[in-house]
Amino acid sequence: MLASRALVRGLQSGFWRRVSTSSAAWAAHTHDVDVVDCSVPQYNNRLDTPLPDVPFVRNLSAEQKKLKEKEKGSWTQLTKEEKLALYRLTHELSYAEMRQGSKEWMTVLGGIFIFLGFTGLLVWWQRVYVYGDVPHTLSEEWVAQQTQRMIDMRVNPVHGFSHKWDYEKKQWK
Amino acid sequence: MFRAALQLSVSGARSLTRSRPQYTASVAARSYSHGKQETDEEFDARWVTYFSKPDIDAWELRKGMNTLIGYDLVPEPKILDAALRACRRLNDLASAIRILEAVKDKSGPHKEIYPYVLQELQPTLNELGIPTPEELGIDKA
């Protein structure tokens, strides 16, 4: 998919569009084959390997073969489109195309947030429908009595709890 | 890791004495504490000889180029000139263009290297009819 789009984008002229995007060329894309033979050298797009082991397009059509013949002569005779077609025969992606990123990260991040949100809904449902009541020792009345007891006991009077209670004015500081 | 650090320090020292972009060619891959270090000139000469072999074959071109790009340096224009001429002998225009792309990519953040290399190679590019990636429009994805 990407390969064909890359090929089509690389060609400006209508005539030479055929040279690199013929069905014979697509059939020869070594990576489109269902069963990849790992025992023979394969084509790869790598920044650190400028010249891959095999050319990208192996089975050349008649036109492509003619172009290859013309390549044996002086390269000054080739048009710009022919030079581009020769490049695309040997290489699937240019360096710029290899380096370009994609917007996939937005999809991934969006998916993460969607699933986190869904999980939040599940947790909320669980809180409402599955959890029982909280212990009675967390009721307001109990906590008020507890707090009063802690103040009376002078819990942490130096820096902590009771330190914040003003015993004269009988209120929090 | 070792090698890169050594090359970095050595080429840094050398760069003080050279007046043109400093990042081309560096010392050899081996860093012995004994024995002679290969000089930049010897390194360049070795590679120019490699690519200048009259009956170089396609495998040797690919192997040489891929190895050269694997080093922590940007090859000197004279090495690239020999490589481009090897492409010509092998009737391989696509590889010639690919080599230019690789040089630009290899320069990394040092954006002044590639224009310098192109400037040095311009006579060869004109003579052989090799287009630059920019001329073909493949420098932009």
Q: Cα separation of B96 and B140, whole Å? A: 18
Pairwise pLDDT comparison (A113 vs A22), residue with the higher score: A113
Q: Quote the pLDDT of residue A75.
A: 95
A5 in any annotated domain: no
Query: Domains plus CATH for chain B?
Result: 40-136 (1.25.40.40)
Task: Please write the tens of the pLDDT for every residue from A18-33.
Answer: 555 554 444 455 555 6
Q: Quote the pLDDT of residue A19.
A: 56
Closest residue of B to A86, CA-based?
B94
B98 membership: H or E segment, kind and range: helix B93-107
A47 in any annotated domain: yes
> Out of B65, B130, B133, whose CB is closest to A51?
B65
Does A7 contact B at CB distance below 8 Å? Answer: no
Report yes or no: A79 and A87 within 8 Å, Cβ to Cβ.
no
Does A50 contact B at CB distance below 8 Å? Answer: yes
Domain end residue (candidates: A91, A108, A125): A108
Task: Please write the tens of the pLDDT for every residue from B93-131.
Answer: 999 999 999 999 999 999 999 999 999 999 999 999 999
If asked whether residues A58 and A104 sit together in one domain, one would say yes
For the beta carbon of residue B81, count every other beta carbon within 10 angstroms. 21
Chain A CB contacts of B98 under 8 Å are: 50-51, 87, 90-91
A123 in any annotated domain: no
Task: Please write the tens of the pLDDT for every residue from B65-85.
Answer: 999 999 999 999 999 999 999
Average pLDDT, chain A: 87
Give how many domains chain A has, as a whole number: 2
Mean pLDDT for the stretch of residues B24-42? 75
Q: pLDDT-based confidence at A3, cuts 50/70/90?
A: low
Q: Cα separation of B75 and B106, whole Å? A: 9
A104 in any annotated domain: yes
A127 in any annotated domain: no
Q: Quote the pLDDT of residue A25.
A: 46
Which residue range is the domain that position A63 belongs to? 41-108
